[in-house]
Chains A and B, each alone.
Chain A
Amino acid sequence: MREMTYAQAIEDALAQAMTSDERVVIFGEDVQALRMNLFARFGKHRVRQTPISESAFLGAAVAAAMAGLRPVAELIMIDFVAVAADALINHAAKIEAFSGGRWQVPMVVRAGCGGGYGDGGQHEQALWGWLAHIPGIKVVAPSTPADAGGLLTAAIADDGPVVFLEHQLLSEDWLDYLGSGGRSTVSYDIPVGGRQGEVPDRWVPIKFGEAAVRRRGSDLTMAGVGVGIHRAAEAAEVLSREGISASVLDLRSVAPLDCNTVAGDVARTGRLLVVDEDYRDFGLSGELAATLLEAGLTARYARVAVEGTIPFDPVRERAALPNIERITAAARNLMK
């Protein structure tokens, strides 16, 4: 085992993939500076700078993947996918279906996501529910260094388009770049286990659609991804002192979604609390409720999610994102 930060794990897994497969290329804005080590090692043909032209380079990634490369296209933030949505939604997601399953698009869209560092509502959305809505796209959102490396390895090896979302609060690179800018005068509420942790000596792919059970409880099930799942785990600790025993399921991928593990756990606890940094309406939390109904379960249900545009003011930003107070309050309410 090795010890790595979230950002190091991603870079290490990328380097491993680039070493073992010549077809893996990365491109995006500023990548030669942001991925300086990979640029120094793999050179300008495999670590390629792009203009600020998301629709062009994401569209190019689709066809490059169709023609034999395995591109990892970087959008600095997932918010910017809106500029290039056509490439992903109308093309990457649909080529395999349109071609009768005869032509795949093995590409990865890598992007920062998530809030908690005060950058405003156009630069820290989660958007995983919105993306997962589209058939043909897989969406992963790792919450630990080990999952980040393993899921990225799987994403690069996957024969279809995968959106790989790295939380800006967990990645020290993004947080330094977008949040602190070298300042020591700002601080963040960073989940320790998400920022740094043990990783395998050699990356092996982590299968999509398999939730990790972070905690097993008997009274209620909490489910989510990203930083939200760390907040849920902290809340579970508080709740346990009050005699409430909660399961914490890290879904790890939003599409595919591990419905079985969620339904199985809720069948025991009878209660589901979804913790979601994405928007509440028409997203992951509603999808999980549907999962229960489809499984024929009757359960008590609540969700702690983002209900509107994330305010810039850090105090209200914290209140808008799932936090321990909101999660514990919702859990207590479910126990009534």
Chain B
Amino acid sequence: MKPDSVALYRKMLTCRRVEEAIAGLWYEGRISGEMHLGIGEEGINAGVLDHLGDGDAVALDHRGTAGMVLRGVDPAAIVKECMGSVDGLCCGNGGHMHLFSKQHLAASSGIVGAAGPAACGFALAAQQLRPGTVAVAFFGEGAMNQGMLMEAMNLATAWDLPVLFVCRDNGMAITTASASVTGGDLQMRARGLGVSGRSVDGADAEMVWRVAGELIDRARRGRGPAFLRATCTRPEGHFLGDPLVRMARSPLAQLKPRLGPLVAAARSAEGAPMAQRVASLGKITSMLGRAVRTELGPAHDPVRRLRKRLTITSEALVKLEHEVEGIVKDAVDKALTSETANEKESSRCGK
């Protein structure tokens, strides 16, 4: 199997540009609350979802905007939903963590691990109502430590469900290094629950596409669940404004107010033995160091990597990129127009 790399690149670039636009709106204060984006994960999202068609279902986590774009939801509806517009994907009721498209059988959740059981339910319905269709769950490696996700893997094996569990592994569970709170090997863990699978470099979109294609095809043919672990680098950390990323990017401004209390706490008369306090300070320093290192370099950027491998003319590439920019600009323009209307509308909008 070989992907249509140009088409794959277009999808990935669309996700990147939509999410960059959402980030811009968030920084402008037009979007409230948290904002979890998948910048850096495009190779995984597109490489997997490119294999889905009508009747297939997808369970997304709190980082679901790209997944919705890739399933064919109108980007304008997503941007509007992020802004809380009454004409957004969910009438402005859900926000970016709670995106739902019944038409696409695509549902997201802000609860870590919840995509696992959801995908099992989608897969059960697929098995009984739509043979040959599958369900895909997306989650981070931090979610691998949620009981409900491990239970879901076992359930998928017990019921022989057509599910692909996709673990996007950036090594960080919120702002904690996953390795420090995770026992064993994730691949082995899934296998222990009867779900075999593969590990891939998520920055290599074509490789993700090939491996995901095999696993999804297996599931379609009734050969049970599979697990795909794909590594990635997310330059924005857990969410926009991630405190560790902020501290790493502007250490002076961010650390200055914290440093006094931190040093005072470490030097307090009562507390742990000095060696432990020094160890704590060391760990805090290394947390910040890790944040500095999560820049999206060319080797880790799936979009730039695939772009280099394309074999189309530069004119065609420019045209493609121009088209994508146009689609995203149009979505944002629609959302901004709708924002003005929304101010008048929302006061009388019901549920």
CB–CB B84/A312 < 8 A: yes
B 74-109 to A, binary, CB cutoff 8 A, 1 in contact else 0: 000000010011100000111101100000000001
CB–CB A313/B92 < 8 A: yes
CB–CB B244/A33 < 8 A: yes
CB–CB A42/B271 < 8 A: yes
Q: Judge if A100 is at the interface, Cβ distance under 8 Å.
A: no
A 51-78 to B, binary, CB cutoff 8 A, 1 in contact else 0: 1111110000000000000000000000
Contact partners of A328 in chain B: CB under 8 A: none
Query: Which among A182-190, A199-207, A266-274 touches the partner chain?
Result: A182-190
Contact partners of A120 in chain B: CB under 8 A: 33, 94-95, 97-98, 110
Q: Judge if B337 is at the interface, Cβ distance under 8 Å.
A: no
Q: Judge if A261 is at the interface, Cβ distance under 8 Å.
A: no
What's the Cα separation between A56 and B145 when bound, in Å?
9
CB–CB A180/B93 < 8 A: no
CB–CB A36/B284 < 8 A: yes
Q: Judge if B2 is at the interface, Cβ distance under 8 Å.
A: no
From A30, A49, A308, contact of B351 by CB (8 A): A308
Q: Judge if B347 is at the interface, Cβ distance under 8 Å.
A: yes
From A80, A121, A186, contact of B98 by CB (8 A): A121
B 318-351 to A, binary, CB cutoff 8 A, 1 in contact else 0: 0000000000000000000000001100110101
B 167-181 to A, binary, CB cutoff 8 A, 1 in contact else 0: 000000111100011
CB–CB A32/B241 < 8 A: no
Q: Judge if B159 is at the interface, Cβ distance under 8 Å.
A: no
A86 to B: closest C-beta gap in Å: 10
Contact partners of B84 in chain A: CB under 8 A: 118, 311-316
From B110, B180, B346, contact of A315 by CB (8 A): B346
From A38, A55, A117, A319, contact of B265 by CB (8 A): A38
What's the Cα separation between A193 and B9 when bound, in Å?
53
What's the Cα separation between A56 and B268 when bound, in Å?
32
Q: Judge if A239 is at the interface, Cβ distance under 8 Å.
A: no
CB–CB B241/A180 < 8 A: yes
What's the Cα separation between A180 and B175 when bound, in Å?
17
Query: Which among B43-51, B124-132, B275-283, B308-316 touches the partner chain?
Result: B275-283
Q: Judge if B143 is at the interface, Cβ distance under 8 Å.
A: yes
CB–CB B93/A312 < 8 A: yes
What's the Cα separation between A120 and B62 when bound, in Å?
12
Given A42-B271, A314-B84, are A33 and B287 also a contact pair (CB < 8 Å)? yes
Task: Closest B residue to A35 by CB, please name it.
Answer: B265
B298 to A: closest C-beta gap in Å: 27
Q: Judge if A260 is at the interface, Cβ distance under 8 Å.
A: no
CB–CB B176/A56 < 8 A: no
CB–CB A83/B33 < 8 A: no
Contact partners of B239 in chain A: CB under 8 A: 181
Q: Judge if A123 is at the interface, Cβ distance under 8 Å.
A: yes
Given A30-B174, A83-B148, A123-B34, are A312 and B265 also a contact pair (CB < 8 Å)? no
CB–CB A41/B277 < 8 A: yes
What's the Cα separation between A274 and B27 when bound, in Å?
37
Contact partners of B347 in chain A: CB under 8 A: 315-316, 319
From B180, B276, B346, B351, contact of A43 by CB (8 A): B276
Contact partners of B277 in chain A: CB under 8 A: 40-41, 43
Q: Judge if A39 is at the interface, Cβ distance under 8 Å.
A: yes
What's the Cα separation between A312 and B244 when bound, in Å?
26
From B26, B240, B265, B287, contact of A40 by CB (8 A): B265
CB–CB A40/B281 < 8 A: yes
CB–CB B175/A30 < 8 A: yes
Which A positions have Cβ atoms within 8 angstroms of B? 15, 19, 29-30, 32-33, 36-47, 49-56, 79-80, 82-83, 117-123, 176-183, 185-186, 308-309, 311-316, 319
CB–CB B110/A312 < 8 A: no
What's the Cα separation between A309 and B94 when bound, in Å?
10
What's the Cα separation between A119 and B36 when bound, in Å?
12
Q: Judge if B299 is at the interface, Cβ distance under 8 Å.
A: no
Contact partners of A38 in chain B: CB under 8 A: 265
Given A45-B276, A123-B34, are A37 and B265 also a contact pair (CB < 8 Å)? yes
A91 to B: closest C-beta gap in Å: 15
What's the Cα separation between A312 and B181 when bound, in Å?
32
A199 to B: closest C-beta gap in Å: 16
What's the Cα separation between A152 and B287 when bound, in Å?
29
From A52, A183, A314, contact of B174 by CB (8 A): A52
What's the Cα separation between A54 and B111 when bound, in Å?
11
Given A36-B258, A311-B93, are A179 and B33 also a contact pair (CB < 8 Å)? yes
Contact partners of B305 in chain A: CB under 8 A: none
Ranked 10 nearest A-B pairs via Cβ:
A181-B241, A118-B32, A185-B29, A312-B95, A313-B84, A43-B272, A43-B276, A119-B33, A51-B145, A37-B265
CB–CB A44/B283 < 8 A: yes
What's the Cα separation between A55 and B280 when bound, in Å?
27
A211 to B: closest C-beta gap in Å: 32
CB–CB A181/B34 < 8 A: yes
The 10 sampled A-B contact pairs (Cβ below 8 Å) are A37-B264, A40-B280, A43-B272, A44-B279, A44-B280, A121-B98, A178-B33, A313-B86, A315-B342, A316-B346
The residue in A53, A180, A312 that gathers the most chain B C-beta atoms within 10 A of its C-beta is: A312
Contact partners of B272 in chain A: CB under 8 A: 41-43, 45-46
Task: Closest A residue to B173 by CB, please name it.
Answer: A52
Contact partners of A182 in chain B: CB under 8 A: 241, 243, 246, 254
